[in-house]
Amino acid sequence: MATTGNIAGDQLRSFIERVERMEEEKATITADIREIFSEAKASGFDVKVMRQVVKLRKIDAQDRLEQEEVLTLYLHALGMAPEPAAE
Same structural domain for residues 52 and 35? no
Query: Is residue 57 situated within a structural domain?
Result: yes
Average pLDDT, integer, range 1-27? 87
Query: Would you say residue 56 has pLDDT above 80?
Result: yes
Domain limits for position 56: 46-82
39 and 50 assigned to the same domain: no
Provide the pLDDT for residue 38. Answer: 98
- Asked, for residue 12, whether it belongs to a domain, the answer is yes
Radius of gyration of the chain measured on its C-alpha atoms:
23
User: Could you tell me if residue 87 is inside a domain?
Assistant: no
Give the Cα separation of 23 and 30 in Å (integer). 10
Domain co-membership, 30 together with 50: no
Q: Is the pLDDT of residue 4 over 80?
A: no
Tell me the mean pLDDT in the region 15-41.
Answer: 98
Does some domain include residue 7? yes
- In this structure, the answer to whether residues 39 and 2 fall within a common structural domain is yes
- The total number of structural domains that make up the chain: 2
**Domain shared by 8 and 23, yes or no:** yes
